[in-house]
């Protein structure tokens, strides 16, 4: 989430959901580059779109629409520790309990997560991290070269070409 | 009056202004929306962050198109390399001292050749990666790569552009005229590009 360059476009609500503000999104798609789960998608205006855990519903004490609407109770919404203990008493394997400091969305599974083709939750964003490390150097480099040019001008100075040079030793 | 000789055509000068202006606009808008906290005031110039984004995207198309047209004109000259070019490079073109004079150079000198090649290579990289970032809907691993290539090329450009502007204006009085009017005094050309003067037989 730290990768987003637009202040306030991508944030965590106090309930813990990862939400976004389309008005502030600049469509750079860096969040896609940084996401371990390949979650963000972009609409026709190149603005981010993703599940926000119904941020506006849960902030008003309601459950998420998917959990409410699910006829078999396969999707459950609740306090994180309650959900985990429920899954543990039913002897399920939990995907996302401790991965990446605990995910906002977890799966209770009967077999190993690998069998469900779930991605191994790691930040595989080496390139994106290097990228954000490199970017400030663009501004620094620009300033350094400008300063260097001024320094060169004031010390070595410009190379003037005077018409007299033609007859003198300069040129050919 | 000094005798003048033509160094660039109007077509080349228009292309150069097109890449130069679009490049500066791209730099300002690009920095503006990547550093909204630190350099957010840059977006005020372009009319807000979303306008900066649109200007950046469309300006990129103008930049890339002009660059492709321009490289047809400038690539062949910058690929010529001779012994004098290596010597020029060895003494950094004589720019580190007032006394040193580099060996005779062709239409463009060794430094200009390297600069042109870098501008072309990283200009194509930044342009193509930018277009792909804009148009690719969602493909995570390649998106990483495009962002990285875009940043690397932006870094190279941030070093090249001010160097190029300084060398072609304050550091070498008389050079900027090549970009505005396209002609240079014969005495100037004889001093800076003697091999080229010989080649076109202007002596």
| CB-based contact B167:B111 (threshold 8 Å) | yes
**Residue A120, token pair as written in the block:** 């191994």
Same structural domain, A70 and A3: yes
Structure tokens at B189: 């050309």
Total structural domains within chain A: 3
- Residues shown for chain A: 172
Task: Identify the domain boundary among A18, A43, A78.
Answer: A78
Q: Is residue A171 included in any domain, yes or no? A: no
- Based on the domain organization, do A19 and A83 belong to the same domain? no
Q: Does a structural domain hold residue A116?
A: yes
**CATH number of domain containing A55:** 3.30.70.20
Domain of residue A140: give its range.
Answer: 126-157
Asked if A108 and A132 sit in the same domain, the reply is: no
Q: Which of A21-25, A133-137, A163-167, B73-77 has the lowest mean pLDDT?
A: A163-167
How many angstroms separate the CA atoms of B55 and B139, rounded? 24
Across the interface, do B166 and A125 touch by the CB < 8 Å criterion? Answer: no
Quote the tokens at residue B66.
Answer: 């002009």
Interface contact A141-B155, CB threshold 8 A: yes
Q: Do B147 and A128 touch (CB under 8 A)?
A: yes
Task: Write down the domain spans for chain B.
Answer: 4-199
pLDDT-derived band at A125 (thresholds 50, 70, 90) equals low
Query: Rounded to whole angstroms, how far apart are CA atoms A92 and A111?
Result: 8
**Of the residues A16, A43, A78, the one at which a domain ends:** A78
In this structure, is residue A28 part of a structural domain?
yes
Residue with tokens 């463009």: B108
Question: Are residue A98 and residue A68 in the same domain, yes or no?
Answer: no
Structure token digits, residue B70: 């321009």
Q: Are residues A61 and A18 in the same domain?
A: yes
Q: Does residue A163 lie within any of the structural domains?
A: no
Distance CA A105, CA A18 (A): 10
Cβ–Cβ < 8 Å for A98, A87: no
Please list the pLDDT of chain B residue by residue as tens digits (203 residues). Answer: 678 888 888 999 999 999 999 999 999 999 887 888 788 888 888 888 889 889 999 999 999 999 999 998 899 888 888 888 888 888 888 888 777 778 888 888 888 899 999 999 999 999 999 999 888 765 666 777 888 889 899 999 999 999 999 988 888 888 888 888 988 888 888 888 888 888 887 66
How many CB contacts within 8 angstroms connect chain A with chain B? Answer: 134
Decide if B166 and A153 are in contact by the 8 Å CB cutoff.
yes
Model confidence at A24, pLDDT cuts 50, 70, 90, reads confident
Among A127, A136, A167, the residue to mutate for chain B (most B Cβ within 10 A): A127
pLDDT tens-digit readout, A128-140: 667 777 778 888 8
**Quick check: is A58 in a domain?**
yes
Structure pTM? 0.80
- CB spacing of B147 vs A30 below 8 angstroms: yes
Are A26 and A47 within one domain?
Answer: yes
Q: Does residue A166 lie within any of the structural domains?
A: no
Token pair 């985990």 is found at A84
Closest by CA position to A172, among listed B101, B194, B93: B194
Judgement on whether residues A15 and A72 belong to the same structural domain of the protein: yes
- Per-residue pLDDT band for A172 (boundaries 50, 70, 90) equals very low
Distance CA B92, CA B96 (A): 7
Q: Read out DSSP for B63-92?
A: HHHHHHHHHHHHHHHHH---HHHHHHHHTG
On whether the CB atoms of residues B112 and B171 are closer than 8 A, the answer is no
Same domain as A7, residue A74: yes
Residue with tokens 């790569």: B145
- Coil, strand or helix at A108: strand
3-state secondary structure of B23: helix
Nearest to A158 among B36, B170, B194 (CB): B170
Name the CATH superfamily for B4-199.
Transmembrane di-heme cytochromes, Chain C (1.20.950.20)
pLDDT band for position A170 (cuts 50, 70, 90): very low
CA distance linking residue B180 with residue B13, whole number of Å: 7
The verdict on residue A150 lying in a domain is: yes
Q: Grade residue A171 by pLDDT with cuts at 50, 70 and 90.
A: very low
Shared domain check, A99 and A63: no
**What distance in Å separates residue B141's CA from the closest CA in chain A?**
7
Chain B residues touching A40 at Cβ < 8 A:
138
**Is residue A4 a part of any domain in this protein?**
yes
Residues A18, A60: one domain? yes
In angstroms, what CA-CA distances link B36 with A106, B39, B143?
Answer: 34, 5, 21
């Amino acid at each position: 989430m730290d990768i987003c360059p637009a202040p306030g476009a991508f944030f965590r609500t106090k309930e813990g959901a990862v939400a976004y503000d389309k008005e502030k999104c600049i469509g750079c798609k860096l969040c896609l580059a940084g996401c371990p789960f390949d979650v963000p998608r972009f609409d026709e205006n190149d603005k981010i779109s993703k599940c926000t855990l119904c941020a506006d519903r849960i902030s008003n004490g309601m459950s998420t629409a998917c959990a409410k609407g699910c006829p078999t109770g396969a999707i459950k919404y609740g306090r994180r520790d309650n959900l985990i203990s429920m899954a543990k008493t039913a002897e399920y394997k939990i995907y996302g309990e401790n991965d990446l400091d605990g995910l906002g969305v977890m799966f209770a599974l009967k077999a190993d997560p690998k069998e469900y083709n779930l991605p191994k939750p790691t930040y595989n964003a080496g390139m994106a991290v290097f990228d954000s490390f490199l970017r400030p150097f663009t501004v620094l480099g620009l300033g350094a070269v400008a300063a260097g040019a001024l320094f060169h001008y004031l010390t070595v100075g410009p190379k003037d070409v005077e018409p007299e040079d033609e007859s003198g030793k300069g040129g050919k | 009056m000094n005798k003048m000789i033509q160094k660039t055509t109007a077509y080349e000068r228009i292309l150069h202004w097109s890449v130069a202006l679009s490049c500066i606009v791209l730099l300002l808008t690009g920095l503006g929306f990547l550093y909204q906290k630190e350099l957010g005031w840059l977006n005020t110039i372009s009319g807000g962050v979303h306008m900066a984004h649109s200007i950046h995207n469309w300006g990129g198309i103008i930049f890339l198109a002009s660059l492709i047209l321009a490289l047809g004109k400038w690539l062949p000259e910058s690929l010529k390399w001779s012994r004098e070019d290596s010597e020029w490079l060895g003494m950094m073109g004589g720019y580190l001292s007032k006394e040193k004079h580099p060996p005779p150079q062709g239409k463009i000198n060794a430094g200009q050749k390297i600069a042109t090649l870098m501008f072309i290579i990283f200009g194509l990289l930044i342009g193509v990666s930018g277009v792909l970032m804009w148009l690719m809907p969602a493909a995570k691993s390649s998106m990483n790569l495009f962002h990285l290539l875009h940043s690397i090329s932006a870094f190279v450009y941030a070093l090249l552009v001010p160097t190029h502007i300084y060398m072609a204006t304050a550091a070498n009085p008389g050079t900027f005229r090549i970009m505005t009017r396209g002609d240079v005094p014969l005495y100037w050309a004889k001093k800076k590009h003697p091999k080229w003067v010989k080649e076109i037989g202007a002596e």
